[in-house]
Amino acid sequence: MKLEELLLTRSESKCELCKSENNIKLYEVPPQSGNTEENCLIACDKCRAQIDKKEELDSSHWHCLSESMWSGAPGVQVVVWRMLNRLRNESWAADNLDMLYLDDEKLAWAKATGDHENDATVDLHKDCNGNVLQSGDAVVLIKSLDVKGSTLNAKMGTVVKNIRLVENNTDQIEGRIEGQLIVILTKYVRKQNG
């Protein structure tokens, strides 16, 4: 039996965190050296996006941790501990965190990513107006830009389609202007509507 099938059986085909039945998939709890039933879980798109900080943390969504914290699955326990720590400013999360016990090995695993030290804030790519940017969006330059190492001058009002987000820098996106792939600062772009 494949790992995902084992986990779907264990989770009764529901997200092991919020019990949603929609868009559930295998989630590998980092860091890990190999996928096992103990270090993976089934999670929905919403939970995965917020765990991975691709979406703002929705405190009301995570009230489900009050129930999932009692799971016997080590991967679930580790993710619950990390998320409760990120929400520790909420009284219900602090109370649950006080009740949640992890043995030394699981606690070391839970702390290994450093995610528990972060608060609920999420770093997202945002344009000059604070609109969240996604890969594939089209943006408009709000300022003429000289491209370093090139004679190219990107004029104000230029539309850059199908942008890519620079993974570890929320101030930068990549896009093609006149066929040339360039890095653009998000403060110089405005998301183009629909």
> Where do the structural domains in the chain lie, given as residue ranges?
3-117, 139-191
- The CATH-assigned architecture of domain 139-191 is Roll (2.30)
Q: Is 83:75 a contact under the CB 8 Å cutoff?
A: no
Tens digit of pLDDT at every position of the chain (194 positions): 799 999 999 999 999 999 999 999 999 999 987 889 999 999 999 999 999 888 888 999 999 999 999 999 999 999 999 999 999 889 999 999 999 999 999 999 999 887 766 655 567 788 888 888 888 899 999 998 888 877 888 889 999 999 998 887 888 999 998 888 889 999 999 998 75
Q: Please provide residue 181's backbone torsions phi and psi, each rounded to the nearest 5 degrees.
A: -80, 120
Residue 21: CB partners within 8 Å, gap ≥ 6?
Answer: 13, 14, 15
User: 159-160 and 153-154 as β-strands: parallel, antiparallel, unpaired?
Assistant: unpaired
Q: What is the DSSP string of 49-70?
A: HHHTTSS---TTGGGGHHHHTT
